[in-house]
Amino acid sequence: MSYPFQIKSLEQYHADYKRSLEDPEGFWSEVADHFEWKKSNLLVKKDWNGTSKNLR
């Protein structure tokens, strides 16, 4: 993934979209790494019951 995250071709769009479906935590964590955070981006998603998951 390039910084800042940019989609430069239709092929890249399809590959990134596929990855976002197959590995949403990894995909969005990688996108979030390009932001400047006041706190670390450890929390990427919540479980079905609302319980937070720390992914790192």
Query: What are the domain boundaries of the chain?
Result: 10-54
User: How high is the pLDDT of residue 5?
Assistant: 75
pLDDT tens, N- to C-terminus, the chain (56 residues): 555 678 899 999 999 999 999 998 888 888 887 777 676 655 556 665 656 555 55
Mention every residue, 6+ apart, whose C-beta is less than 8 A from residue 52.
43, 46
Identity of the amino acid at 9: S
Quick one: pLDDT at residue 52? 58
Q: For residue 14, what pLDDT is reported? A: 96
Rounded to two decimals, the pTM is 0.58
Helix (H, G, I), strand (E, B), or coil: what is residue 23?
Answer: coil
Read off the tokens for 19.
């990855």
Side-chain half-sphere of 7: how many Cα atoms within 13 Å?
9
